[in-house]
Every structure is written in C-alpha cells, then in structure tokens.
Chain A
Amino acid sequence: MSIKSTELPGIGTKYELETEKGDKIAIVFMDSSIQLYVLEKESETPAVAELNAWETRRLGSILTGAIIEAEKEAVEVAFSALSDLRISIHTYIISKNLAGKSIRELAIRRRTGVTIIAVSRKSKNIINPSPSFSFEKGDVLVAIGERDQLKTFESEILEI
C-alpha cells in the first residue's frame, strides 16, 4: 500500500491509495469540503461522498482509533493505546445559585476530581481559570474528568 498525493490547481490536493486487495480510495481536499471516492476493484464507477469539515474530522478520528462518543454537550475520548482510559469533556452553564462563588471556594477538584479547563463568558474565552476565578450567571464552563467524577460534579456542586 502506498499513498500518493497530487496537487490539483484550482481545486485542492488529492490523496490516493490502493489497498492490498486492489480497491482504490481517493480523497480530495477542497476549500470547504472534501470528496471521498471509493472504487472497488474491477468496478468502473466510484462511489462518492462529499463531507464538510466537521464530518471529515469525525470520520478521521474514527479511522485513527481515537473514538469519540458524542453525548449532548459532551465528548468521551478513548485512545487506542490506553484502552482503559476514557476521558469525558463536558460543558455546563452556570446558574444563579453558583454566581459569585470562586473555584477555590467550591473546592471543585478536591471534592469531585473534576478540573475546569475553560470558561466562556460573553463570547470571551478564559483558558485554565485560576482558583480565585469566580463564576457569573450564564458562564459556560468546560470540565474534564472521568464519567463518574463528572456525575459527582453535577450532583455535588451544580446540584442538578
């Protein structure tokens, strides 16, 4: 198996590979989408799918083995080399009862094991907020942890 890449000026870049069994696959990267061609051995007409950027990324992550399972507002990541490690990333919206409280005050990591990795406030993003960071109503926060830890976080801290 070998992968050949060719430039198609005005269109984009084409990657082609032929599998051991003789099937052909071509992927053409264009400005805002990709075309994925599969041509079975001894067949004349290829099957084609056109994917947008998001679909391409999803397909790519499935093919590379880092399986991402999307829940509503959450993704769970598993790595092929570390099969017993499954990390969840979840977003939450801060309600009125947590407004004004800081991360240290709530002792989030000590009580639940969950880490807050980012907060989005009025379309501004705060990455790695410090322990003294205090929440406001409407903040969207991104929390990372194991699934059970996030469950604890939901019940203990957010009280939902």
Chain B
Amino acid sequence: MEQIALALFTCLILAIISKNLSLPPIPFYILAGVLLGNSGLKVISADEVFHFLSQLGLIFLLFYVGLELKPGRLISRGSTFLIAGLIDLNVNMLIGFFAALALGFSYYDAFVIASAFYISSSAIVIASLVENRKLILPESETVVWLMIFEDIVLVFLIFFISPEMQHPFILILKIIAVVCLLFGIVKLVKQGLLKILQRDDELPVILTFSAVLSTAFISSYLNIPEVLTVIILGSALSTTNPRAFERISRPFKDVFLILFFFFFGISIEFSGNLSLMQALIISFIAIGSKFFSGFLVGRILHGSSFAGIEIGTNTIARGEFSIAIVAIYGSEIISATVAIMVILTSIVGTFMAKYGSKIKLVLTKES
C-alpha cells in the first residue's frame, strides 16, 4: 500500500515538473522507478499487487488503442495511409533490426528491439502536435494517421514476438475465434450497450471495467496474449460509442499506466558499460532513422522537403508502446536498452517537434 502511494506521489510531483518544462512525463516516470527501485535507492520493491496494477495499466492502454481501430474507417483511408505507413514500417524496422544485430544482439532480441525502435509514442506525438499548434498543417494529418497505422502493426508485432508455447496455426485459429466472438457479441448487444453508456450512474464504469478485465481473464485461460484480446475488444466496441468508452476508461488508463512505467523502471537492471554504449548508439540511430523515414514520407506524399522535416521531427519520440513491447517479451538487457532509448528519444523528439519549424526557417534562408 505505502509503496504504491509513494510511487504515485513521486510521479505526481514529476508530472507537475515535466508539464511546467513542457517535457513529456513518460521518461520521468521510468527514471523515478529506476531511482527508487532495484538499480537505485531500493526504497520500493515490486510486490504482487504492484505488478497486478501495472499490468492493468498495460491492458487499459491497449484497450484504448483498440477503441481507435474502427475497421470501417481504416478501410476507407485509402492508399496515402498505406504508403506512409509502409515507408515508416520498412525503414525503421530494417534499420532497427540491423543496428541491433550489428551491436551483438541475437536475432530474436534484435527483432524485439526493432519493434520497440519502430513504434513511436502516440501520446507524446499527439500532445506535441496540439501543444505546438501544428494542426493546420496537412502534414499533421499524415502524422496522426501514421500513429494509427503503427497501432495496427503493433497487433501483429505482439503476435509475432509472443513466446512460442503453442503452434502458431493454433494461435491464429484461437485469435480468429476471439475476433468473431467479441465482434459477434458486441453486434448482438449493441443497443443495450448504447443504452447503458447513456446513463449517469456507475453502470457505464462497471460495464467498461468488467468487460476489459474479463476479456483479459478469458485470454489467459485460452493461452492467448491478453494484450491482444483487449485490443480486439476495443476494436469491437469502437463500433458502438468509442468516445464514451474512452472517456470512461481514461482515468483507469492514466493512473495504472503511470504505475506501469514506474514498475518498468523498478525492474530495470543496469549492467556494465557495454550495454550503456549499445543503448546510446541505438538511441542515436533511432532519432536519425525516424527523421529519415518521416523525410521520405514528406517527399513522397507532400512533395516537399519541408513537409518531410515536419513529419520527421514530429515522430521521433518513442514511449508507451516501446515499453509495452519489451515489458511483454524483452529480456533484461533489452529492457535497459529500450528504457534508455525511450528516455532519450522522447526528450530529444519533443524538442525537435517544437523547433522543427526553426530548422525549416534556417534552411529556407540558406537556399
């Protein structure tokens, strides 16, 4: 109890500081965990309850992601969405994978690192766009939809890196069954759901919480990654009233996710100088790689280098999803590497997003 209170209170103070400095709070939560946990002062050690609550954070984060993935609206987006998404995916997965291999990671570890390397932080990117008032730019639309594309890829990444405890064919069959089941149930009870969501009392909250939790429970029973089934649940529920579900699940997501980042920080073990060097190199490449892929997207879709700079600088920050990927499947060395990558890219990315337009101005003057 006091451990969680201490963790949350520390994060509250850090959140206030980070907002005042216009910096993203995620790296601060992780650092707080590192400083108070195993690698630091050892004030807080992770117990069962703490672990459970941080798991809830992950589950609600992915449920929230699912709510944005409404099947119909993705299909109607068309080719620009696909082109931007595929450039971003290919460039960053390849660079991330080969960089990790070159630094001596195994194939599996390199793939996990590449996944964490590829996926930008929707939370930080979107907050930057709003705060830096970039929404009038056509590039910002491209960036926002890139985030959605990455969310879809996340589903597949989770599938691919899940530990092989069963035949992949059986896993696919189970997942298809879950998709049919959840979409089917939601279709059947849609009217009832919409009625409940309109109520003012505690029913909508109980409904949301229990739907998410029981879906997670069923998936561990069926031996499917629970993070996958809650995304599917979110996507199924996005056909009803996703705004209402977002509003209701947001407080759960916000609080538990902070504990998730903090818990992740606690569990990191830093060992040796070598891994630190590796992490720094990866972070550096991660910044360059996103800038490059964004630049390509801008050149190809908007036909201008300035648009490319805008998209590149705005997508550098990695965050919640990178941490989620390594928290689900990473080993200790990967966790430390990705933690450093998230901390560095999120802070550098925030600055680049803010001053990206300055780079544009300098370039205009020179040319």
Contact = CB atoms under 8 A, between A and B. Distances in A.
Interface string A86-103: 000000000000000000
A44 B136 CA distance: 11
B133 to A, nearest CB: 4
A115 B364 CA distance: 65
Interface in B26-72: 68
Interface of B (DSSP majority class) = helix
Contact of B135 (A7, A8, A24): A8
Interface string B184-214: 0000000000000000000000000000000
A11 B361 CA distance: 27
Contacts of A44: 361
B126 interface: yes
Interface stretch (B142-150, B156-164, B169-177, B283-291): B142-150
Interface string A20-57: 00001010101000010101000011101000000000
B145 A37 contact: no
* Most chain B CB inside 10 Å of its own CB: which residue of A7, A10, A24, A45: A10
A35 B135 contact: yes
A14 B135 contact: yes
Interface residues of A, number: 19
A142 B148 CA distance: 48
B167 interface: no
A33 to B, nearest CB: 9
Interface in B324-367: 357, 361
Contacts of A24: 136
**Range for the number of chain B residues in contact with chain A:** 10 to 19
A45 B361 CA distance: 11
**Residue of A8, A24, A37, A44 contacting most chain B CB atoms (<10 Å):** A8
A37 B135 CA distance: 8
A10 B147 contact: yes
Given A6-B141, A30-B130, A45-B357, A11 B135 contact: yes
B141 A14 contact: yes
A10 B135 contact: no
B141 A48 contact: no
Contact of A9 (B130, B135, B145, B361): B145
B73 interface: yes
Nearest to A39: B136
A123 to B, nearest CB: 15
A102 B311 CA distance: 67
Given A14-B141, A45-B357, A7 B133 contact: no
B126 to A, nearest CB: 5
B135 A28 contact: yes
Nearest to B129: A11
Contacts of B68: 9-10
Contacts of B357: 45
B327 to A, nearest CB: 22
5 contacts: A9-B147, A10-B68, A11-B126, A39-B136, A45-B357
Given A8-B144, A35-B135, 5 more contacts: A8-B135, A9-B144, A9-B147, A11-B144, A35-B130
